[in-house]
Amino acid sequence: MGKQRTLVRLVIAVAMFLLFVLKIGGAVPLPFVDQVERSTYDARILLTMPSTVDQQVVIIDIDEKSITAEGHWPWSRDKFALLTHQALGKYKLRSMGFDIAFPEADTGTSGVDALKRLSAAELADLPGFAERLTTLLPTLDYEARFAEAMQGKPVVLGYILRAENTQGVTDSIAALPRPVMDAKAAQLYDIDFFDNPAFTGNLAVLQSAAMSGGNFDNSQALDEDGVFRRVPLVQKHAGALYPALSLETLRIALGAPPIEFEFDPPDNRSSQYLEALRIGPVRIPVDERVQAYVPFRGRTPSFTYISATDIMRGTADPAALAGKVALVGTSAPGLKDLRVTPVGAADPGVEVHANLISGMLDGRVKHKAPYYNGIHAVLLLLIAGVLGFGAARLSPLANGALALGLMAAVTALAFGLWSVNFVMPLGTPVLFTALLFLLLTFYGYFIESRNARQVSKQFGEYIPPELVDELAANPAAASMKGQKRNMTVLFSDVRGFTTISEKMDSEQLSDLMNEFLTPMTKVIQQHRGTIDKYMGDAIMAFWGAPLKDEEHAAHALQAGLDMIQALRNLDASFEARGWPKLYIGVGLNTGDMTVGNMGSEFRRAYTVMGDPVNLGSRLESLTKEYGVYFIVSDATRNAGPKDWAYRELDFVKVKGKNEPVAIYEPLGPKDAIDPNLRNDLARHRGAMKLYRSQLWDQAEAELFNLSRSGRPHRIYEIFLERIQYLRANPPGAQWDGAFTFTHK
């Protein structure tokens, strides 16, 4: 039997392992697994990023200040000429990369076209105009001025490599710079580069003047959740290789050394063996598609931002720029250059490039090795073996501890390797461990349920069924001894029962109570509640014991609503028998209670005790005061489902308690509530804030309007009366808004 149990569990573990291996290989899509892995990658970034401002890279920011000072966007090329001249001349930048492309001619800002038209028409006969125009035109050629400012300077212009343009055709615009490797040399490498048949480049006059260019569009590397985590450092166009803006800006800063690919072993020049790129002394780990993982420093800003206008006007601090690598980008919201990254939902796109340059210089770029999937598979196989053998030999509790230990070990290993810039899978093995543990646990539970049925036959006549199930599953967990647990308690009571009982004989009253208590009990048990006791017409029940229930508040809330509805289902049969229509009040409270077998040596009962129990009873009594059938405490509301709607009733001190408690009327799931009622609830919450701020007139007006809205409620009348009293008897500045009840 022991060998069979082990074999079955190993078969389950192997089946789960094969499913995940097929997913890793791309044969079976499991998007939720990918998202878990991405989330754990982001968590590692957030937990380990240095969160300091880099001193090697600066961002020349076309911000709101610059646009206000220099004029609306887009700027004329003479402004870029001035910016370039100042940045590289006066401020002596090491290199300057533009996160901007210039594919179209600047024909409208200098007035050249207008002057040429005038010289050929209205002013053609004006003496001296043609001669003056000849000398004037060169000064208005902003394109030439920009090109002259870049000539011989370490400037990298941005461009875009495209899979296709918006019309679906693979045409190209303007010009590209010289590739870092021509098509003939690129044929020597069997690397799976991103291949782009189209591009949006820069005007030839500008690109030829700049020292180089770099691609700044990383949309092909965008993950499925829309987050930028990687950047392709080298991409292909027409067989030749072109660098990313970040890589090229750094390469130019280093004196333009050639780009080299590193393989392990060196003679195997394919993606499978690609390890890194090298530019001079800088080594950059990449994946099989020549992508680098962006080593984010921290939340924006992680770099020194200098307004472009300050550089153009010469007011920037020279010490902040001299010898630095600079990127020209924009943080102005209107220019829409914002990206979703692991560290922010709307970061300036230029920060992605800046983080990469910073990480390359510091040696912080993480390495996702070509054998990443192999690591994945080995990890999952080890976990499957350990859990498969452990499930057959250990108790469920010990297996849970083993699973947690495996997840902790994988997490520790992943963070340890992360500290040396190695990316190891984390989310997938942790998820695999959790799912396999649950699957093996469920299998064991169903197999062992036969033993549970035997226990039920032996003990079902002597102890409550709720205890039988727990005893069968885990006898040690079904202790009858008193223990502290977080639970929810319910009290319900029939309204006006004394009057009803006086009008009926004992036999009728007994029949009525049986007809009433039976459906109420069914509702409570259907929602996993335990009946504590019947007290005449009252019911006391609780959730969270003897079986632990993590959603005890949610189950109790639904049971309370269903009890009120079940009572209305009895109306027709009660009327047919001449019985009165019944109404109940229901009170719920959640808190730490003592539960166990309590009583004397003569009689014991499995029950709950404690202050939260007493408060639950008080809340049921308050239903009559507020004209509602159901009241819950703030503790129950907070522990219950988040998608429920509640009507705020009051902030009260009940008899026997000094601390006030917020009370609510639960109304059920929000999406099932009438929109008009939802609007009333929002207005009522606002009125309560006004009331507690002692703004009596505003609160009174809002409550009066609510009472006339066509959906009246007793609570409006209560607070309108209370406001009249408090206006005449101000409670003082220390008043906390609570109302004190002196009766139960």
CATH number at residue 614: 3.30.70.1230
Question: What tokens were used for 91?
Answer: 């401020």
Residue of higher predicted confidence among 658 and 674: 674
Residue 590 lies in a domain: yes
DSSP of 143-183:
HHHHHHHHTTS-EEEEEEEESS-TTS----BSB----SB-H
Residue 646 lies in a domain: no
- The three-class DSSP label of residue 493 is strand
Residue 129 lies in a domain: no
The average pLDDT across 520-526 equals 89
Are 325 and 381 within one domain? no
Question: What pLDDT score was predicted for residue 170?
Answer: 54
Are 392 and 524 within one domain? no
Are 317 and 413 within one domain? no
Closest CA to 595 of 470, 507, 695: 470
Question: What pLDDT score was predicted for residue 663?
Answer: 95
Confidence of residue 429 (pLDDT cuts 50, 70, 90): very high
What is the spatial distance between Cα 183 and Cα 259, in angstroms, rounded to a whole number? 15
- The three-class DSSP label of residue 304 is strand
Tens-place pLDDT, residues 371-425:
888 888 999 999 999 988 887 778 778 888 999 999 999 999 999 999 999 999 9
What is the spatial distance between Cα 587 and Cα 218, in angstroms, rounded to a whole number? 58
Q: Are strands 95-98 and 155-162 parallel, antiparallel or unpaired?
A: parallel
Question: What pLDDT score was predicted for residue 112?
Answer: 54
Residue 657 pLDDT > 80, yes or no? no
Number of compact structural domains in the chain: 4
Are 281 and 412 within one domain? no
Residue 585 lies in a domain: yes
Chain centroid offset of residue 629 CA: 38
The average pLDDT across 93-119 equals 74
Are 44 and 68 within one domain? no
Strand partners for 344 = 341
Residue 559 lies in a domain: yes
Taking the CA atoms of residue 209, residue 210, residue 212 and residue 213 in that order, the dihedral angle to the nearest 10 degrees is -110
Are 414 and 380 within one domain? yes
Are 164 and 297 within one domain? yes
Cis? peptide before 301, omega within 30° of 0:
yes
Are 576 and 702 within one domain? no
- Report if pTM > 0.75: no
Question: What pLDDT score was predicted for residue 344?
Answer: 87
Q: What's the burial of 129, exposed, middle or buried (CB within 10 Å: 0-12/13-18/19+)?
A: middle
Pick left, alpha or beta for residue 260 (phi over 0 → left; psi -120 to 50 → alpha; otherwise beta): beta
Residue 742 pLDDT > 80, yes or no? no
Question: What pLDDT score was predicted for residue 336?
Answer: 64
* Domain end point (choices 338, 362, 386): 362
* Domain end point (choices 362, 390, 407): 362
Q: Domain residues for 100?
A: 54-110+150-362
Residue 465 lies in a domain: no
The answer to whether 351 and 300 have CB atoms below 8 angstroms apart is: yes
What is the spatial distance between Cα 129 and Cα 244, in angstroms, rounded to a whole number? 48
Question: What pLDDT score was predicted for residue 140?
Answer: 62
For tokens 């048990």, name the residue.
Answer: 525
Closest CA to 219 of 294, 298, 157, 161: 161
Are 504 and 618 within one domain? yes
Are 376 and 328 within one domain? no
Question: What pLDDT score was predicted for residue 119?
Answer: 52
Residue 245 pLDDT > 70, yes or no? yes
Task: Assign 3-class secondary structure to 403-430.
Answer: HHHHHHHHHHHHHHHHCCCECCCCHHHH
Are 383 and 351 within one domain? no
Are 413 and 515 within one domain? no
- Give me the phi and psi of 196, to 5 degrees please: -120, 115
